[in-house]
A and B are shown apart, each in its own frame.
Chain A
Amino acid sequence: MNAHQWLELVLFLGALVLVTKPLGLYLGRVFDASARTWLDPVMRPLEKFTYRILRVDPAKEQGWKQYTFALLVFSLVSLLFTYAILRLQQYLPLNPQHFGALSEHLAFNTAVSFTTNTNWQSYAGESTMSYLSQMVALTIHNFFSAAVGLAVAAALVRGIARHTAATIGNFWVDVTRITYYLLLPVCLVFALVLVSQGMIQNFKPYTAATVIEPQTISVQITDANGKGLVDAKGNPVMTNQVVSTQSIVQGPMASQVAIKMLGTNGGGYTNANAAHPFENPTPLSNFLQMLALLCIGSALTYHLGRETKNQKHGWSVWTAMFAMCLAGVLVCWWAEAKGNPIHQQLGVAVAGGNMEGKEVRFGVFDSALFATVTTDASCGAVNSMHDSFTPLGGLVPLFNIQTGEVIFGGVGAGLYGMLIFVVLTVFIAGLMVGRTPEYLGKKIESYDVKMVLLAFVILAFVILGFTAWASVSNWGTSSLANQGPHGLSEMLYAYTSGAGNNGSAFAGLNANTPWWDTTLGVDMLVGRFGMIVPLLALAGSLARKKSVPASAGTFPVSGFTFVALLFGTVILVGALTFLPALALGPIVEHFLMLKGNLF
């Protein structure tokens, strides 16, 4: 924890503050179909053309049910589209490596994963996906799933800001404008910046490089059908093979990485994700990628404040997020910098902390910061292996996801997730000041409480339910690379990451099995739409309500008390729900590590 690293932390958080207001103002223009932006000369004709094709009247808004229906139809159609491409990969162009079709379960898992903005990857991109699959099947979802998340946030903010209104916006208009005016142009610029840092962007086949030190590895002999040969005792028949060439990944990477970060998708082009030298070439690219994944979530709080004419509220929500972010970074950084006591006792510890699973170029600090922010948001891109973090260091990303990724959060999802906690906070605080709880002039009644809690309970249900099921099933435990509490953390992390639409993995888990692919697919679907539907219902309900003017008797949703209470609610509710499970995972593991046991 040296001065240089502190400086980088201050720079990073400072940049986040600076970008919040201008981007927040711009978001307001993007979400307002009648507002003008400087991109109008280019994008307006395209936008109008899109409406004509979709037969959408941009002036006509939708009620929450219509909005939700449009959203679900759109997601289903795009999910099926991706599934089809992945299943037919071998017949489609732009496949220089001649990759075959994905299995049913992997295609299902992947299609769901990208549709839900999760980008959980049960495969290694460079050895599975053709360029077409990467660029069309997956990348469109990087845009669309981000646009859908932002659209939900925009609709919810409208619901809060409006009163006695029947509509919450037009889904088609929202998605179109977000894609054309926000995601595409920003990504274009961002991709160029990344290329300037050395990131690749081409259509070349993979390069074969001759390695300097050829290695001999032992592999099983296969027959003509590709089946491994076994001897009479059932043991595999092995042979030595000399490896003298290495295949180096190529392809359209920068375009994919830009939206992967900005849209908090997180699906790596390569399996190593942001730890790969091509996918994260320089310290600057590392810095910018982290900033890109938090900036929209941060700006949305400004948008919330502006739309509801209560800028203090926007900044208060921001402050609560910021405080949690900072706390997470510090805990994770501290735990990793402290390192592994066993390594230290053995005299094999490297200077600067726990370096297992970390890219040497980034070191402990950049890895801890990246791990924290990627789970603050529902991004899931990684530049280190979370699996190799110390128990407490790894607890931070896990806990971040379990509290719902509300610390700036996924694009849109972070804000609408945080609003669940805001409504809960306001409800309890409202009772405590002796009035029917109000949120920005809207009375919070039983229907609203029901919707908010439905979204919350669903999340806990899939995470805990699937983890418990997997932990006592053969299909669950046979995929584990580690036993004991660490294995439990791996399973818990997987379902948490899926339901939270994060997509980062603790790794150490072979998830590409029919059971894991399918259960994780369901986990991601429920985690995404089980949250979106109740929250759009909440948006509709809030929009319909009359607005009550604030008075001295109203609990103000800004200021220190509110921030502290919101902070406390997020931490306490998250902790109370998951602490029993966490106790058996990382917490026990931590104490075991202190006693010298590793897994």
Chain B
Amino acid sequence: MSAKSASIFDARILLPALGDTFRKLDPRLMVKNPVMFVTLVGAAISTVEIFRSPGQTGFVLQIAIWLWFTVLFANFAEAVAEGRGKAQAKSLRATRTRTSANKIAGTGKIETVDADSLRQGDVILVRATEIIPADGEIIAGAATVDESAITGESAPVIREAGGDRSAVTGGTRVLSDEIKIQITANPGEGFLDRMIALVEGASRQKTPNEIALTILLAALTIVFLLAVVTLKPLGIYSGVNFSNAVLIALLVCLIPTTIGGLLSAIGIAGMDRLLQKNVLAMSGRAVEAAGDVDVLLLDKTGTITLGNRQAAAFLPATGVTEPELADAAQLASLADETPEGRSIVVLAKNFGIRARTIHELPGAQFIPFTAQTRMSGVDVEGKQIRKGSANAIRQFTGGMLPADIEKIVEAISLSGGTPLVVATRERALGVIHLKDIVKGGLADRFKRFRAMGIRTVMITGDNPLTAAAIAQEAGVDSFLAEAKPEDKLALIRHEQTGGRMVAMIGDGTNDAPALAQADVGVAMNTGTQAAKEAGNMVDLDSNPTKLLEIIEIGKQLLITRGSLTTFSIANDVAKFFAIIPAMLMVTFPVIAPLNIMRLHSPNSAILSAVIFNALIIIALIPLALRGVKFRPLGAVEILRRNLLIYGIGGVIVPFIGIKAIDVVIAGLQLA
């Protein structure tokens, strides 16, 4: 996506955002954010005070200006965040994948149309290697279909007209033969468009943690309002006349404007970061829930293993050498365009057999895999070489397989692999060991998740033996073998009863109940409509490992809010030391030692604090949009690190900042 590379300060986003900044001054909008609403009221009152402060006009004017800036900066942060969302949605619309379909018109003529133009009831033709564009029913033909993306089963399945195996799912791929399909669901059904509207929509609802945090910020605002308002009468008692402008300055500096001003920008930016990863969240609530996940349910196929099995070894029969077997296997696979077939050709190269092309064997006749024979191979130089499952080869060779071959087949099955027997009409030459290949780097990633307290469970339709072997290799914490859809649902419910939050990714119709039940359900874009409706996120890339990134973004969102809240509150310490001595200095000159920053004058001290308070919002917009860097560590380490940076840092930074601003103000003789 083009917007992926868009920098934080992109003119195309910034210019419209400037307009929104002022539009957001509407008090009806501002009141939703108590902290900034109080700031707005403060700015308004101080503006009036300009005309009521003879002798201090210049000072009060500057206070008022910077208070207005504080409000505008916060609005700007929100506008920029929203602008980025809008830009994302725009590019999303443009880059949406357009599959085409072969529509059979009423006249029987085949025309290529855009998949999106298909409607319920249309009839299409899908040939080998093509993706079925939408859910439908086979009305003619039979085919092997790779449904691994949906069922989790890596072996191809046979779908044929009539009977209960006639349904095909959008996003699955036809491997052999061709079928006629009647469309049963409008593809997309404006799905993506609805998503885009959601991303752009201003009707963003606050998430639970955001609401709780807003309450905290509102309570702090009330407390500081009390502390400042009561200062007026206490001042009267003490013989100090605090001007309204100074009291407002103190108030705005104390209330958590930093986090208050950036809070909604952080939330919007979180949704946005997901979008940059090509994930659409139906609600902010789901993003937040992702950060809380305790258990990850991962489908084996596509998530943990590569979608297809690959040849791992050639195991020859007695009296056959390994290169001979490799040679035969490669010949049988030359025309086999499936990933498995290609992997056999590649493996054979290891035995010094160069990859031949089909054209080098003019007399050869290739036999494609069909659902009927369940074998593929080649007839060359009078030999009929076939490869297929043990059952299919038994039929091909006419009955029994040699005992040693049977033994190898059994051993491979036990180890969790898939045996593919290679044979000529006369004899079985040996067995190809097909294996699920675990994706690289996963074990490490799961380890990091374990450190964060997240448990991973692999779900597979394989038998327990196969499952255990792969689970161990991938480094997941546990697995569920021979899983039926209802097992998945039961597992989710079981974990939830224990109080755990469960995330899963799925795409089939049979996943829909589980996706709906899971706290975070990510549906793949290639998945069925039902799955997409049931989940609360959609992964446009249909990349199952995305779940891991989603969790990180969810956590990052909360961490950013928490860290900036801490920073905002910690800032108050320095502001106290700037403003309180300044307020009392005239009446009680003895308090001078409290002015530990040695600020130039009372007015410059107050002004410096107000300016710092406004500028820090602008300074932190990039951080709010980007998010605090997330590290997969245990809670204690994360907390220590963030406390050090945003807590201790939050105490120190404003001392430096306020002093620096004071030096500038004194230099320019502004106060």
Please give, as numbers and ranges, the residues of chain A lying within 8 Å of B212 by CB-CB distance.
Answer: 427, 437, 444-446, 448-449
Query: Is there an interface contact between A456 and B640, defined as CB atoms closer than 8 Å?
Result: no
| Cβ of B576 under 8 Å from chain A | yes
| Cβ of B580 under 8 Å from chain A | yes
Query: Is there an interface contact between A591 and B556, defined as CB atoms closer than 8 Å?
Result: no
Please give, as numbers and ranges, the residues of chain A lying within 8 Å of B113 by CB-CB distance.
Answer: none
Kindly report which residue of chain B lies nearest to residue A552, judged by CB atoms: B453
Cβ contact of B555, chosen from A435, A460, A464, A488, cutoff 8 A: A435
Interface string of A468-495 (1 = CB under 8 A from B): 1101100001000000110110000000
A341 to B222, CA, bound (A): 40
Query: Is there an interface contact between B584 and A436, defined as CB atoms closer than 8 Å?
Result: no
Query: Is there an interface contact between A460 and B635, defined as CB atoms closer than 8 Å?
Result: no
Query: Is there an interface contact between B223 and A592, defined as CB atoms closer than 8 Å?
Result: no
| Cβ of B168 under 8 Å from chain A | no
Query: Is there an interface contact between B452 and A578, defined as CB atoms closer than 8 Å?
Result: no
Please give, as numbers and ranges, the residues of chain A lying within 8 Å of B232 by CB-CB distance.
Answer: 468
Interface string of A413-447 (1 = CB under 8 A from B): 00000000000100111111111110001001110
Residue of A464, A577, A592 with most partner-chain B CB within 10 A: A464
| Cβ of A68 under 8 Å from chain B | no
Taking CB atoms and an 8 Å cut-off, the chain B residues in 563-578 that contact chain A are 563, 565-566, 569-570, 572-573, 576
Please give, as numbers and ranges, the residues of chain A lying within 8 Å of B636 by CB-CB distance.
Answer: 555-556, 559, 561
Please give, as numbers and ranges, the residues of chain A lying within 8 Å of B562 by CB-CB distance.
Answer: 428-434
| Cβ of B458 under 8 Å from chain A | no
Shortest Cβ gap from A316 to chain B (Å): 13
A319 to B665, CA, bound (A): 46
Cβ contact of B227, chosen from A453, A464, A484, cutoff 8 A: A464
| Cβ of B230 under 8 Å from chain A | yes
| Cβ of A497 under 8 Å from chain B | no
Cβ contact of B215, chosen from A453, A549, A555, A561, cutoff 8 A: A453
Query: Is there an interface contact between A436 and B635, defined as CB atoms closer than 8 Å?
Result: no
| Cβ of A10 under 8 Å from chain B | no
Query: Is there an interface contact between A434 and B556, defined as CB atoms closer than 8 Å?
Result: yes
Kindly report which residue of chain A lies nearest to residue B592, judged by CB atoms: A591
Please give, as numbers and ranges, the residues of chain B lying within 8 Å of A578 by CB-CB distance.
Answer: 227
| Cβ of B277 under 8 Å from chain A | no
| Cβ of B607 under 8 Å from chain A | no
Query: Is there an interface contact between B226 and A461, defined as CB atoms closer than 8 Å?
Result: yes
Query: Is there an interface contact between B216 and A434, defined as CB atoms closer than 8 Å?
Result: no
We find that the number of chain A residues with CB closer than 8 angstroms to chain B is 67
Please give, as numbers and ranges, the residues of chain B lying within 8 Å of A565 by CB-CB distance.
Answer: 639, 643
Please give, as numbers and ranges, the residues of chain B lying within 8 Å of A429 by CB-CB distance.
Answer: 562, 639
| Cβ of B419 under 8 Å from chain A | no
**Given the interface contacts A457-B223, A588-B584, does A477 sit within 8 Å of B634 by beta carbon?**
no
Q: Which of B70-78, B288-296, B358-366 contacts A (4 or more CB under 8 A)?
A: B288-296
| Cβ of A239 under 8 Å from chain B | no
Please give, as numbers and ranges, the residues of chain A lying within 8 Å of B236 by CB-CB distance.
Answer: 471-472
| Interface class of chain A by DSSP | helix
A568 to B569, CA, bound (A): 11
Please give, as numbers and ranges, the residues of chain A lying within 8 Å of B593 by CB-CB distance.
Answer: 591
Please give, as numbers and ranges, the residues of chain A lying within 8 Å of B630 by CB-CB distance.
Answer: 434
Give the interface residue-count category, chain B: 35 or more
Query: Is there an interface contact between B635 and A449, defined as CB atoms closer than 8 Å?
Result: no
| Cβ of B351 under 8 Å from chain A | no
Interface string of B484-511 (1 = CB under 8 A from A): 0000000000000011110000000000
Query: Is there an interface contact between B642 and A435, defined as CB atoms closer than 8 Å?
Result: no
**Given the interface contacts A467-B234, A572-B569, A591-B593, does A546 sit within 8 Å of B499 by beta carbon?**
yes
| Cβ of B590 under 8 Å from chain A | yes
**Given the interface contacts A434-B558, A548-B499, does A553 sit within 8 Å of B452 by beta carbon?**
yes
Q: Which of A268-276, A299-307, A353-361, A579-587 contacts B (4 or more CB under 8 A)?
A: A579-587
Query: Is there an interface contact between A436 and B558, defined as CB atoms closer than 8 Å?
Result: yes
Shortest Cβ gap from B482 to chain A (Å): 27
| Cβ of B191 under 8 Å from chain A | no
A468 to B236, CA, bound (A): 9
**Given the interface contacts A431-B565, A579-B576, does A465 sit within 8 Å of B230 by beta carbon?**
yes
| Cβ of B405 under 8 Å from chain A | no
Kindly report which residue of chain A lies nearest to residue B207, judged by CB atoms: A436
| Cβ of A551 under 8 Å from chain B | yes
A223 to B156, CA, bound (A): 115
Cβ contact of B634, chosen from A437, A549, A553, cutoff 8 A: A553
Query: Is there an interface contact between B237 and A460, defined as CB atoms closer than 8 Å?
Result: no
Taking CB atoms and an 8 Å cut-off, the chain B residues in 207-241 that contact chain A are 208-209, 211-213, 215-216, 219, 222-224, 226-238, 240
Shortest Cβ gap from A553 to chain B (Å): 3
**Given the interface contacts A432-B639, A552-B452, A579-B580, does A467 sit within 8 Å of B558 by beta carbon?**
no
| Cβ of B423 under 8 Å from chain A | no
Cβ contact of A553, chosen from B229, B453, B594, B642, cutoff 8 A: B453
A197 to B593, CA, bound (A): 48
Query: Is there an interface contact between A580 and B559, defined as CB atoms closer than 8 Å?
Result: no
A472 to B236, CA, bound (A): 7
Shortest Cβ gap from A518 to chain B (Å): 19
A427 to B216, CA, bound (A): 9
Query: Is there an interface contact between A457 and B643, defined as CB atoms closer than 8 Å?
Result: no
Shortest Cβ gap from B643 to chain A (Å): 7
Shortest Cβ gap from B32 to chain A (Å): 15
**Given the interface contacts A445-B208, A579-B580, A580-B250, does A432 sit within 8 Å of B566 by beta carbon?**
yes
| Cβ of A142 under 8 Å from chain B | no
| Cβ of B254 under 8 Å from chain A | yes
Shortest Cβ gap from B287 to chain A (Å): 12
Shortest Cβ gap from A344 to chain B (Å): 18
**Given the interface contacts A431-B209, A449-B215, A464-B230, does A472 sit within 8 Å of B591 by beta carbon?**
no
| Cβ of B588 under 8 Å from chain A | yes
Query: Is there an interface contact between B565 and A552, defined as CB atoms closer than 8 Å?
Result: no
Query: Is there an interface contact between B590 and A436, defined as CB atoms closer than 8 Å?
Result: no
Cβ contact of A556, chosen from B294, B566, B591, B635, cutoff 8 A: B635
Shortest Cβ gap from B46 to chain A (Å): 18
17 CB contacts below 8 A, A to B, read A432-B563, A434-B556, A434-B558, A444-B212, A449-B216, A457-B223, A460-B227, A464-B227, A468-B229, A468-B234, A472-B233, A551-B294, A553-B453, A576-B223, A580-B234, A591-B590, A592-B588
Given A436-B291, A559-B636, 18 further pairs, Cβ under 8 A: A432-B638, A432-B639, A432-B642, A432-B643, A433-B562, A434-B556, A435-B558, A467-B230, A471-B236, A471-B237, A472-B237, A553-B454, A555-B635, A576-B227, A576-B576, A577-B223, A583-B580, A597-B590
